[in-house]
Structure formats: structure tokens, C-alpha cells
Structure 1
Amino acid sequence: MSKEKSRIIVKRVVGGKHQAHGGSWKIAYADFMTAMMAFFLVMWLLSIASPKQREGIAEYFNMPLKVALTGGQKTSTSSSVIPGGGIDHMEVDGEVKRANADAADTERLRELKRRLEQVIDANPVLKQFRPQLLIDITSEGLRIQIVDSRNRPMFDLASAKVEPYMSVILREIGPVLNELPNKITLAGHTDATPYVLGAKSYSNWELSADRANASRRELISGGMNEDKTLRVMGVASTMNLNKADPLDPVNRRISIIVLNRRAQAQIEQENATGGNAGLKIDNQKDAASQIREGAPGTVDGSKVGTEKP
């Protein structure tokens, strides 16, 4: 046995300590608290907003993104994955510019809608007739409808004579319409109550057209520019507001539409096309008449002349 002492090795087991978890949980907790603060801030802002402000916010989010970007029902006519209309999206032609113009036009009409609502709220006379004023945005533009009621008719019975309160409404609205260059159309509507002789004599067609023209005159008397009107028409009872009851007084109304850019261009194009077609027909008739009757300097429609010496 060796005389040397054996070396004794002692192993001391140190108790395990808790490992630090780091600070990642703090970042997640801070993000959560930030999101909660933003949420409660939004809820607080909605609680103090007026009903009109909440209506405007809801109307903004109800507008489809496709309509906001491209205007109307069209999505894109280009083959590009990104709707736009060409490689260079800064070009003046293509869908990008048209979409921007349509969006700006819609925003101007929305601003006019807010302006009209402010005028109505600020005027005590108009405010009491607020239930009879319907203002909304349609595919053609900003529509202002003044509807009849059983207790407050807009016109005399079976007449185009404007009642005093109706005159006040139209004359207050007239100057506001001048704030945009957009033209307007007016349409008169009646209920389905027929005249004694029906459509053979003076009927709802003539009455609705006369009431639309009477409304146009009141708008101009209030300060609206004379060249603002693009179309005036009477549609009788063909477009009832309450389709379930054709005799409902609300079907008797005046509809004013502040046209958007597309609707105005379409109407102007239709009018121009019709005018050119009519002029062409008239020219053809004149030429045919000259051939039949023999215009001066012609024989049986054939030109004759004198030879130079």
C-alpha cells in the first residue's frame, strides 16, 4: 500500500438560482397599455361627438374602398396588378387622374352637404322644417329633396303656386348652391291622385313640370345664378318615395341634384349629341328639298354653270 496520502476531492453543489426572465414582457405590457389607452381615447371622443359628427364618420366608412379609389363601379381597365392605368402613375392620362378628380369632386359635394346642414341649423325658420328636407349623396351627386306633408303642403292644391315657407326654403338654399361650379337639375314629383280628364288634358305631368319651374324661379330670386340649371323636368308620380302608398303626401316633392363631374358631363354629352343629330337631319331635309324643287343654278338637282369664254 502506498505511503502517500490519497488526495481527497470534495464537490460542493451550489443551489440553483432563479434565472432572470429579461425585459421582453415589459415591452409587450407597454404595447398592450398603449393600445388600451388609444381604445379608450377613441371611445371618449365618440362619446363627446355630436350626432352629425358621428353620422359623418359613419358615412365616411360606409363608402367602399373601390368607389373611393376608382369612382363608380369600375375597378380597373388596365392589366397592371396595381389599379392605376400605366407604368408611370404620374401621367396626366389614365385612371389615376380620373380617380383623384372624382374623389375631390365627391369631397366638395360632401362639404356642400355639411354647409347646407349648417345653414338649416342656423336659420330658425328652416330648422322647423328640417323633417321635410332630405339631403343625401347619390351616384349623380348631392340630392336635396323638399317633401310635402299633410299639414304643410309646399304648393297650393293642384297648383304650382309656391307656399310662403317653401319660398323661404328655396331662397335660402339658392345662394349656397353658388359655392360650387357644379350645375343642378330640378325634378318635380306628384302623388298618384289623377285629374278628372286623366292625361288627356292638364295632368300630373304638367303640374310636376310647372312646380319644378316655379322652384327654379324661387332659387334664382334667392340669388342662385341663372346659368346654374342644366335640366328641369316633371316626372309626375313615376318615382314615388313611398312605393307602398302612391297617395302618400311625401311623394309630392321637389328634387334638386347638384351634379357631380361625371353626371354633368354625361348630360352635356347627350345634349350635344342630340343637337348634332338634329342639325344633320335638318341639313339632309334641306338638301332633299332642293333636289325636289330645283334650287337656283340647278336643273333637276344637277349643277349647271356657264363656261368661261
Structure 2
Amino acid sequence: MSKKTRHEEHEEHADESWLLPYSDLMTLLVALFIVMYSMSATDAKKFEEMSQAFSSALNGGTGILEERAAMPSKTQEDLGKNDKMGSSTSKKAEEAEMAKLRQKEQEDLEKLKKQFDQYIKSNGLTDLLSTKLNQSQLMITISDNALFASGQAIVKDDSRQLAKSISTMLQQFPDYDVVVQGHTDDIPISNSNYSSNWDLSADRALQFMKILLQNTNLNPRKFSAIGYGEYHPISDNDTATGRSKNRRVEVSIIRKYQESKEFTGIVPSAE
């Protein structure tokens, strides 16, 4: 008789292959918790070393570690501080240069004022002309009696030399803006030439400026003429003396390096 082949029964074992990826996952979770804990530490150098090691272990993966690593290092902070120091040094240098320019301008305008004052004294014009140097300009004030007949804007023949002398002194400093301003008292004027004090004051400023610019060494681009009428008085208009002071022409040499706001074209004369 043939023996029947007998198959031995083998005990079945459970499939445990899932344990490998599970253990890897646990390892990664432990590593993640360690890194998250280290992120709360204040030692940036240790964190950077751990970040590099962990990134290398994960083959350069991206995530929260890279964002943290992108935070400025001490070297970057030092560079920022150096930039600020450089900017501060540059600003101080600019301020020092501006201070030198203001000082030079002050010396120039004081020199010019002395020349005007000497001219006024030498020619006996102290009652008709005066000068004033302030933070915005050097101003030469000329009484209208020295320049014009009443109600007119034609410069007197004997006053033309005054305008020419002023222009000669101005040519020493050709880079300054010069504003010629005309002013009147508040008595209304109405004649065949002018319908208001606006017209008269503007024409007087213009006519005097034209004589200044006969000096070809002056740049017309630097000059302007303004008429203020009776609206910028330096004295009251209740007396003849006050009205006489208000009728005037002013020649203003404008500072280029003012500490206050820049010149806008309107120069208040009453100070």
C-alpha cells in the first residue's frame, strides 16, 4: 500500500513587518520633540548646530528648522550695527560740512553789510538807507524819497548812481538770489499811470531792479521784483513820519544755507 503523503501542519505566525516603519516613525517623533524643546532654549549657537545635524539626517528637508535658521545671526546683527554707525558718521560729516557753509556765508554777508554801511556813511545817506542782517537775508532799505518823485516810479537821475554802486557790491557774490521789493503807505493813489498802490509799488521795484541789472556781471536769473503795496508796513500810517518810513524799496540778498525753512519768494520786511 502506498503511504499517503502526510503534510505537517505549520503554526501560522503574525506578520510583523509593520514594526520597522513604526519604529522609524517613533524615532522621528522623538527627534522632533527634542528639536522643538531645543527651540525654546536661548542658546542660538547650540540650536544652529542641532538644526544643521537634524537637517543633514533628514537629507536637507525643509520646514520649521529652516525658518528658524533664517533668523539673523550675530554676524548679520553686527553688519546691521556697522551700517547704522556708517550712516550716523555720514550724517555727522554732512552736518559738519553744512556748518562750514553756513559759517562761510555768514562771513560773506557780514563783509557785504560792512561795505554797504561804509558806503552809506561816506555819502551821508544814513537818513535814507539802512541795512539789516538776520537769519534769512541781508536787507538794504532805501527810502522812496531817495529814489522817486511822489506818485512816480521813475528813478531820479541823481539816484541812479546809488543803484549802480549797489550792483557793483552785489557782483562780488553772484550766486545769491536777490529780491527787490516795493512798498507804499496806505494813502490810496489813482492817477493816469497807476490805479492802486499795488501797481505803484510793483513798478518801483521793477524799475530799480532794471538799473541794477545794467551791470552785466549780475545774473538776471537770480533777480526778482515784488510789489507789496501798503500791506507790509514797518511803521504806523497815522503820522507823516510813519508813512514816510513805509514808502520804501528793499533789496534782499537771500541766504542759501538757512537753518529755518527755505525762502519761498515772499520776504516779510517788518521785524
TM-score range, shorter chain: 0.5 to 0.7
**Does the CA contact (< 8 Å) of 1:140 and 1:257 recur in 2?**
no
How far does residue 128 in structure 1 lie from its aligned partner after superposition?
A: 2.3
How far does residue 145 in structure 1 lie from its aligned partner after superposition?
A: 0.6
Residues 246 and 216 (structure 1), Cα distance of their counterparts in 2 relative to 1, 3 Å cut: farther
1:41-100 superposed Cα distances (whole Å, 9 cap, x missing partner): xxxxxxxxxxxxxxxxxxxxxxxxxxxxxxxxxxxxxxxxxxxx975389542x322222
2:129 to 133, 140, 148: 133
2:107 corresponds to: 107
2:225 to 225, 232, 246: 232
**Does the CA contact (< 8 Å) of 2:185 and 2:237 recur in 1?**
no
2:165 to 156, 164, 172: 172
Q: Matches of 1:106 and 1:86 in 2, distance apart?
A: 28
Higher-Rg member (1/2): 2
1:252 corresponds to: 247
The normalised TM-score by structure 1 is 0.50
CA RMSD of aligned residues (A): 3.0
Structure 1 residue 185 and structure 2 residue 185: aligned? no
Which 5+ residue runs of structure 1 have no aligned equivalent? Answer: 1-84, 271-309
Q: Matches of 2:248 and 2:161 in 1, distance apart?
A: 16
Letter in 2 for 1:100: K
Residues 187 and 153 (structure 1), Cα distance of their counterparts in 2 relative to 1, 3 Å cut: same
Identity of aligned residues (%): 22
- Higher relative contact order (CA closer than 8 Å, sequence separation 6+): 2
Structure 1 residue 195 and structure 2 residue 189: aligned? yes
SS in 2 for 1:232: strand
Q: How does 1:136-151 map to 2 (within 5 A)?
A: 136-148=132-144
**Does the CA contact (< 8 Å) of 2:205 and 2:227 recur in 1?**
yes
Q: Matches of 1:224 and 1:267 in 2, distance apart?
A: 24
The normalised TM-score by structure 2 is 0.56
Q: Matches of 2:257 and 2:239 in 1, distance apart?
A: 32
Residues 163 and 224 (structure 1), Cα distance of their counterparts in 2 relative to 1, 3 Å cut: farther
Q: How does 1:23-34 map to 2 (within 5 A)?
A: none
Structure 1 residue 118 and structure 2 residue 111: aligned? no
Q: How does 1:75-114 map to 2 (within 5 A)?
A: 88=89, 92-93=93-94, 95-114=95-114
Which 5+ residue runs of structure 2 have no aligned equivalent? Answer: 1-85, 266-271
Aligned length: 174
2:147 corresponds to: 154
After the TM superposition, list the runs of 4 or more consecutive aligned residues in structure 1 that deviate by more than 6 angstroms.
Answer: none
**Does the CA contact (< 8 Å) of 1:134 and 1:145 recur in 2?**
yes
